[in-house]
Amino acid sequence: MSGLFLFRLIPPRADFAQTMTDIEQHTMHLHNTYWQQLLADGRVVVYGPVADPEGVWGLGVLRAADRAEALAIAEADPSITAALNTFELLEIIDGVTG
């Protein structure tokens, strides 16, 4: 049985979505490709940027056997391995999906 985990991608600055450098854009392209594959593999329920008035951040809902597996998925995100972004990972207790 798998659980659900909330992945919050935290950008390096509040205006990151509007001010990315070419290198940051490339890294975020790799990040998006990574999450597209997770979605195709059935590991992700939903993902995408959140229009927070305080600054855009990324959301992903992961399916994983346990926190260790979810953490491994999060840590392998190219924007994390490149030390561009940071993240928070929280378990969704008794999550229900359609």
Cβ neighbour number for residue 46 with a 10 Å cutoff: 10
Prediction pTM value: 0.93
Domain borders along the chain are 3-92
Q: What is the pLDDT of residues 10-53, one digit of tens each?
A: 999 999 999 999 999 999 999 999 999 999 999 999 999 999 99
Residue range 3-92, CATH number: 3.30.70.1060
**Angle at CA of residue 40, ends 36 and 41, nearest 5°:** 115
Identify the pLDDT of residue 68: 97
